[in-house]
Chain A
Amino acid sequence: MKQTYNVPDMHCPACSMLLEGLEDDLPGIRRISASYHKQRLDVDFDEAQVSEAEIMAAAEELGYALTRRER
Chain B
Amino acid sequence: MVEFFAAFITGLTAGGLSCLAVQGGLLTGSIAPSTATKVPAKKGSQSRKRARTGKRAAKQQPATEPPSARTILLFLGAKLVAYALLGLLIGALGSVLQLTPRMSALLMLAIGVFMVGNGLRMLNVHPIFRYFTFEPPSAVTRYLRRKAKGGATAVTPLFLGTLTVLIPCGVTQAMMALAMGTGDALRAAGLMTAFTLGSSVVFFAVGYLAVRLGGVMQKGFGQLAAVVLLVLGFASVNSGMNLLGVPLSFLQPVRTAAQDAEAVTVLPADDEQNVITIQALGWGYEPRRVHARAGVPTELTFVSENLFSCSRALVIPEWNIREILPETGEFTVNLPAQPLGKVLNYSCSMGMYFGQIVFDQ
Partners in one complex: yes
- Considering the complex, which residues of chain B in the window 134-148 have a beta carbon less than 8 Å from any beta carbon of chain A? 134-136, 138, 141-142, 144-146
- Considering the complex, which residues of chain B in the window 2-38 have a beta carbon less than 8 Å from any beta carbon of chain A? 21-25
The answer to the question of B149 belonging to the interface, with a C-beta cut-off of 8 Å to chain A, is yes
Contact indicator A54/B122 (Cβ below 8 Å): no
B110-145 vs A: 1/0 string, CB under 8 Å?
A: 000000000000101001001101111010011011
Contact indicator B135/A36 (Cβ below 8 Å): yes
The answer to the question of B361 belonging to the interface, with a C-beta cut-off of 8 Å to chain A, is no
State which of B21, B55, B133, B215 has its C-beta within 8 Å of the C-beta of A24.
B55
Contact indicator A13/B135 (Cβ below 8 Å): yes
Whose C-beta in chain A lies nearest to the C-beta of B57?
A25
Contact indicator A17/B145 (Cβ below 8 Å): yes
State which of B21, B127, B138 has its C-beta within 8 Å of the C-beta of A33.
B138
B171-193 vs A: 1/0 string, CB under 8 Å?
A: 00000000000000000000000
State which of B124, B141, B149 has its C-beta within 8 Å of the C-beta of A11.
B124
- Considering the complex, which residues of chain B in the window 336-358 have a beta carbon less than 8 Å from any beta carbon of chain A? none
Given the interface contacts A27-B53, A36-B135, does A14 sit within 8 Å of B21 by beta carbon? Answer: yes
Given the interface contacts A12-B22, A18-B25, A25-B53, does A39 sit within 8 Å of B141 by beta carbon? Answer: no
A7-51 vs B: 1/0 string, CB under 8 Å?
A: 000011110111011001111000001111101000000000000
Number of interface residues of B (CB under 8 A): 30
The answer to the question of B64 belonging to the interface, with a C-beta cut-off of 8 Å to chain A, is no
| Residues of B with C-beta under 8 A to A21 | 59, 145
| Residues of B with C-beta under 8 A to A16 | 135, 138, 141
Number of interface residues of A (CB under 8 A): 25
Contact indicator B146/A20 (Cβ below 8 Å): no
Complex-state Cα separation, A24 to B146, whole angstroms: 9
Whose C-beta in chain B lies nearest to the C-beta of A15?
B25
Complex-state Cα separation, A35 to B130, whole angstroms: 11
Contact indicator A13/B136 (Cβ below 8 Å): yes
| Residues of A with C-beta under 8 A to B49 | 54, 57-58
The answer to the question of B240 belonging to the interface, with a C-beta cut-off of 8 Å to chain A, is no
Complex-state Cα separation, A13 to B133, whole angstroms: 8
Contact indicator B135/A24 (Cβ below 8 Å): no
How close is B74's CB to chain A, nearest CB, in angstroms?
A: 20
State which of A11, A25, A57, A63 has its C-beta within 8 Å of the C-beta of B222.
A11
Given the interface contacts A11-B222, A25-B53, does A61 sit within 8 Å of B60 by beta carbon? Answer: yes
The answer to the question of B167 belonging to the interface, with a C-beta cut-off of 8 Å to chain A, is yes
Complex-state Cα separation, A67 to B136, whole angstroms: 24
Contact indicator A37/B215 (Cβ below 8 Å): no
Complex-state Cα separation, A34 to B60, whole angstroms: 19
| Residues of A with C-beta under 8 A to B222 | 11
Q: Which residue among A11, A13, A33 has the maximum number of chain B CB atoms within 10 Å of its CB?
A: A13
The answer to the question of B255 belonging to the interface, with a C-beta cut-off of 8 Å to chain A, is no
How close is A69's CB to chain B, nearest CB, in angstroms?
A: 15
| Residues of B with C-beta under 8 A to A26 | 53, 56
State which of A20, A25, A39, A61 has its C-beta within 8 Å of the C-beta of B55.
A25
Identify 19 residue pairs between A and B in the complex whose beta-carbon atoms are under 8 Å apart, listed by A's number. A11-B122, A11-B222, A12-B21, A12-B22, A14-B24, A14-B167, A16-B138, A17-B144, A17-B145, A18-B25, A20-B145, A21-B59, A27-B53, A34-B138, A35-B135, A36-B130, A36-B135, A39-B127, A58-B56
Name B's A-contacting residues (CB within 8 A): 21-25, 49, 53, 55-56, 59-60, 122, 124, 127, 130-131, 133-136, 138, 141-142, 144-146, 149, 167, 215, 222
